[in-house]
Amino acid sequence: MSSPKIFNGPGGYILQDVPHLIDYLPDLPTYQNPLKDNPAYSVVKQYFVDTEDTVPEKIIVHKDGPRGIHFRRAGPRQKVYFESDEVHACIVTCGGLCPGLNTVIREIVSSLSHMYGVKRILGIDGGYRGFYAKNTIPLTSKVVNDIHKRGGTILGTSRGGHDTKKIVDSIQERGINQVYIIGGDGTQRGASKIFEEIRKRGLKVAVVGIPKTIDNDIPVIDRSFGFDTAVEEAQRAINAAHVEAESNENGIGFVKLMGRHSGFIAMYATLASRDVDCCLIPESPFYLEGEGGLFEYIEKRLKEHGHMVIVLAEGAGQEMMTKSMESNTLEDASGNKVLKDVGLWLSQSIKDASGNKVLKDVGLWLSQSIKDHFKKIKMVMNLKYIDPTYMIRAIPSNAADNVYCTLLAQSAVHGAMAGYTGYTSGLVHGRQTYIPFYRITEKQNSVVITDRMWARLLSSTNQPSFLGPKNISEQKKETHGTPSPDGEICNGVVHIPPVTKEITK
């Protein structure tokens, strides 16, 4: 693996820079950016980004503290490293769906063709494995004209099937020199490997990642595209759950939302709705029985209000469910042990083609457990379970996400044209930046339950925190992982010594 490029400046300034083609191809010629003569851009004062411009990772800095880590600011540069006719770009989408994929595809094609006069753009069919299939999809402005109005990805997507050598062989054989890879944490890991192999072979090929995740689990960036749309769509399910709950005696509206390891969709959907009485996410352990447990809270809420709404992220309570099913502690109303076979099935760990753990349906299990509990205590209760998981990610992106996708795609293209490579384009504090792959892949973004946002949620729902002092100290330890040399929080491990240089001017 190549070494991270890190520059140290005065006042504790650190630039975590991204690779550039000239790092390994020092004699590449440069050309005037064609945008200079484009009437739309030439009138814009300071349209080109100053090469020294960077964006801080942490916006809140103590007055005596160091300036901290910065990323290269994205945007068009005066000089480009590709001539328009020379560019042969390709776009691939990998992993699960997310609203906005088609908008990103559309805007990469539009930016390349309208801003930089590029004519050869290929769509790779069905994720990474499409690189070594025969079929490709020629992409023109006409082909992508109204795809942003559709959900999904016109290119198709898949999990698994990443073979770095075969992918780079295909890139080389087809004469592709700009690779745009849209996908989540797994995809960006794959993109990083493709970049390393391309660099090893000394190819003039820019590798660009565009972060996609409905779960919002990619670190460093403000939020992922499609997240806003997903939270908005989740409101429809929560509203339905609320209506059902209100209309029934001791009604419980129970909604399961996506969120494998990170409960951001559930948390933001809850905060947006105000109708939710309890939000359960993977980061916040909870328990059912006894004082301070979920059952006690539900009973209390039903007695006070006559109805309630629960939102559950799919990754929440997985361990508890597995343990409970394994030990067959689930009993029916007559006290008989049930679901023995399901218990056995639950104890097996199943992985998808990409190696992600396939989660068991905690929603079904928890709603059954709640029903059993109320039967046991002989209290009337009507639970309506709504599972809109795929519905919230299979829709087209909303207006805000469409704008976000557009800027993200434009930034990705400007960076590749300027010769940068091995980076993920991302929004940091509202600014477009280029982030080195290792910062994107080193850890997952998750809800920190000792932070203010989770406290805000607890005070909005009034639910118990389900936390004892032991959990709180464990959480604190986890979020304060291994400190990196600058004192930053960093749970990921980067084994390669960085190339560090002092900035003298």
Ligand X SMILES: Nc1ncnc2c1ncn2[C@@H]1O[C@H](COP(=O)(O)OP(=O)(O)O)[C@@H](O)[C@H]1O
- Judged by CB under 6 A, the residue of 137, 168, 179, 258 near ligand FBP is 258
**Radius of gyration of the chain measured on its C-alpha atoms:** 25
The per-residue DSSP string of 206-217 comes to EEEEEEB-TT--
Q: How far apart are alpha carbons 436 and 15 in whole angstroms?
A: 11
* By CB under 5 A, residue 282 contacts Mg ion: no
Is the separation of the CB atoms in 27 and 33 below 8 Å?
no
391 is in an annotated binding site: yes
Is the separation of the CB atoms in 417 and 80 below 8 Å?
yes
Q: List the one residue out of 218, 175, 283 whose CA is nearest residue 427.
A: 218
The minimum distance between CB 323 and Mg ion, in angstroms, equals: 25
392 is in an annotated binding site: yes
Interface region with Mg ion, contact rule CB under 5 A, candidates 10-18, 176-184, 300-308, 377-385? 176-184
Note the residues at the interface with ligand X (CB under 6 A). 94-96, 127-128, 158-162, 183-187, 189-190, 193, 354, 356
Say which residues have a Cβ less than 8 Å from residue 452's Cβ, sequence separation at least 6. Answer: none
Task: Name the 3-class secondary structure at 450.
Answer: coil
Q: List the one residue out of 315, 255, 243 whose CA is nearest residue 286.
A: 315
Q: Which CB, 183 or 415, lies closer to Mg ion?
A: 183
* By CB under 6 A, residue 352 contacts ligand FBP: yes
Binding partner at 127 among ligand FBP, Mg ion, ligand X, none, C-beta below 5 to 8 Å by kind: ligand X
Is the separation of the CB atoms in 376 and 334 below 8 Å?
no
Q: Which residues pair with 428 in a beta bridge?
A: 431
Task: Name the 3-class secondary structure at 444.
Answer: coil
* By CB under 5 A, residue 196 contacts Mg ion: no
Interface region with ligand FBP, contact rule CB under 6 A, candidates 130-138, 160-168, 209-217, 396-404? 209-217
Q: List the one residue out of 216, 281, 204 whose CA is nearest residue 30.
A: 204
Interface region with ligand FBP, contact rule CB under 6 A, candidates 33-41, 130-138, 213-221, 421-429? 213-221
How many of the other CB atoms lie within 10 Å of CB of 490? 18
The minimum distance between CB 280 and ligand FBP, in angstroms, equals: 15
How many of the other CB atoms lie within 10 Å of CB of 191? 30
Q: Which CB, 192 or 475, lies closer to ligand X?
A: 192
Q: Which CB, 120 or 129, lies closer to ligand X?
A: 129
Interface region with ligand FBP, contact rule CB under 6 A, candidates 32-40, 41-49, 211-219, 268-276? 211-219
Q: How far apart are alpha carbons 71 and 73 in whole angstroms?
A: 6
Compute φ and ψ for 384, nearest 5 degrees: -115, 120
**215 is annotated as an active-site residue:** yes
Q: Which CB, 54 or 425, lies closer to Mg ion?
A: 425
CA–CA distances in Å: residue 343 to residues 51, 326, 362, 399: 58, 5, 13, 44
260 is in an annotated binding site: yes
Q: Which CB, 214 or 490, lies closer to ligand FBP?
A: 214
- Number of residues engaging ligand FBP in binding (CB under 6 A): 15
The minimum distance between CB 360 and Mg ion, in angstroms, equals: 18
DSSP H or E run through 390: none
The minimum distance between CB 231 and ligand X, in angstroms, equals: 18
Binding partner at 189 among Mg ion, ligand FBP, ligand X, none, C-beta below 5 to 8 Å by kind: ligand X
Which one from 37, 85, 169, 215 is the annotated catalytic residue? 215
* By CB under 6 A, residue 123 contacts ligand FBP: no
| Longest Cα–Cα distance in the chain | 80
The minimum distance between CB 190 and ligand X, in angstroms, equals: 3
395 is in an annotated binding site: no
185 is in an annotated binding site: yes
* By CB under 5 A, residue 185 contacts Mg ion: yes
HEC states along 329-385? Answer: CCECCCCCECCHHHHHHHHCCCECCCCCECCCCHHHHHHHHHHHHHHHCCCCCEEEE
308 is in an annotated binding site: no
Binding partner at 199 among Mg ion, ligand FBP, ligand X, none, C-beta below 5 to 8 Å by kind: none
The per-residue DSSP string of 403-433 comes to HHHHHHHHHHHHHHHTTB-SEEEEEETTEEE
Q: Which CB, 127 or 498, lies closer to ligand X?
A: 127
Q: Which CB, 94 or 308, lies closer to ligand X?
A: 94
Q: Which CB, 242 or 360, lies closer to ligand FBP?
A: 360
Task: Name the 3-class secondary structure at 102.
Answer: helix
- Judged by CB under 6 A, the residue of 129, 162, 260, 360 near ligand FBP is 260
- Which tokens belong to 66? 């160091």
Is the separation of the CB atoms in 21 and 28 below 8 Å?
yes
- Which tokens belong to 214? 């409905």
How many of the other CB atoms lie within 10 Å of CB of 296? 14
* By CB under 6 A, residue 127 contacts ligand FBP: no
Nearest residue relative to ligand FBP (C-beta): 96
* By CB under 5 A, residue 184 contacts Mg ion: yes
**Residues marked as catalytic:** 215
Q: Which residues bind Mg ion (CB under 5 A)?
A: 184-186
Binding site for ligand FBP (CB under 6 A): 95-96, 184, 186, 213-215, 258-260, 314, 352, 356, 359, 393
Binding residues: 96, 159-160, 184-187, 213-215, 258-260, 314, 390-393
Which residue ranges are tagged as binding site for ATP? 96, 159-160, 184-187
